[in-house]
Chains A and B, each alone.
Chain A
């Protein structure tokens, strides 16, 4: 118990646990920002990198974590939890995972605090880095954008896992024994990503701490109105005067980077003195961002995003429609924290875009737009719900529509089967070509025409039978001559091969 622990060890242990908790929150939140993280190794210790790992401190996240801890430490019965949830542009939210930092009563009295505990906490943080990329929420967070965003909430006290739905899975990141208890880090994640009704969320407590201006000037109060959109502009700590959050300086407190190889009685030989926060010297966040002020940019440009189904759960597909806007123009949606407004800036008709993008059954199968009614789109998580079957009268597989006239060199082709011929409706089912990403309008679809024409290209002249037979005979005749030439130049070939090796 505490009586066995020297005051210095107790003080160190408390500090280690406190900063471990803060770093844990940073790792989890940064892993859900939607961007790849990159920090630099440094051979010289800076004195500000706790656990010898380059983990940048986002000041607001540290502030939220400290607020949740309120001066306490994770202890027995007092867990620190980070809840990650998804919120759609329609305002519905769904809890995805809960990370728990807990302490149990199992003590390891013989363990050395300053060395073993510290190093094991470092290993545990590395494990956390690895595991945060493996849970299902990671892929969702990498694809957040206009349709949904990923939010976080930190709380202290009892672990709440009710919001994760049925069948949630748990993964244990690791444990570290200390003289006052065993630190355990684990994650419970949702596996059932099916449709959830609106009513469920009206009763639940609103998620707090989702400060829209996460990456801009620090707020005067702790909360801002949810509908206040701001460009997501994370300023590197150098640009701030550093005075808004006392926590910033606090986090740069002395961290033990000195270890001893001497006998156990000599725990410390030296300590680094306190350095004023040289935050530029701290872990550089080397994002491949065009604009250094938009380091935590989350919107992905263009394209369609399909999120695959996850194990143990649904066979529905999550879709996140991405507007074609460039990040610059839709800056208000960026980053981890998001406005509550449904800022859908897509120029496309949502029915049509869902029609074009949300089916995995063949890019060229035509399903009528009427299948996805406006009513169904009003339902939250409509895209997540399994789609109904086509009514038969609308199914082009049963009643093929007329094919457009298509003059082509197909007629002369050896392989011409007239596959688009309307006279072959007995043998073939007409599939109206809708190439992916093409517009559904009245103009002739050049892309479709292109596909049709070049699906059955004319036979290459050199491959036609009578010509190939002739050339084969010629080849055989000329073979001895060619062999003689090659044998003469054999040295040249050998030299060439040697050069390649």
Chain B
């Protein structure tokens, strides 16, 4: 007992204790046999010759006791008692071993034992739940991947690729008739018409057939039966609106040439025939926006 006070005076209050950890509000004791973990006069295992703790090893709890009679034998100082796994039985064991011991130590031993059993239970529960596996990331690898991704993004040219794909799908007709430019089919039909008219106009240039009467089939669209330029103008004005304005100027020209040639050819024909034939003629009325072309036409006449 005398030793205890002296020891405490030295390590607890004044000088240095290597187990002591000081913080702003409190000091802790890092000694493995300390029962509360705080640095106090009553919790210090060095400054109390009669002391007891609970320690846990691999899921098993033990009660350690130290008495003053064994203070001279450091190797045999701590008496180790294995506690039962049953909580109540273990508490009884503690009581039985620490009978006649100071109240503080008994109380703190039981508290510590309770805490230990609680965390052991929690550990066992956690093992059963899903374990979260932590995968370490290598910074170098991550940076490399990030850079590769940026470069890949630039190389991908996403907007262009998407637009191209969509246009291709439109061309192939996956959208059906939703959009009103199935203009490809339309253009193709027009082009066919133009080709036919051009081939015929080449024939006309021979100038052999001017004024000659020919009996031609009704369905032939290219035979224009107009005798007057007025009629021709009418034809031009009675045009449908075109959806695609891109090819309009070209087609306008072609169409005009076509009409011109028709007019020249038809001079030889009788107007009566012309009007009758015109009604039966099957042709596609095409409207063009007349912005520039008509002016030179009228001058020519």
Do A and B interact with each other, yes or no? no
Residues of B bordering A, CB below 8 Å: none
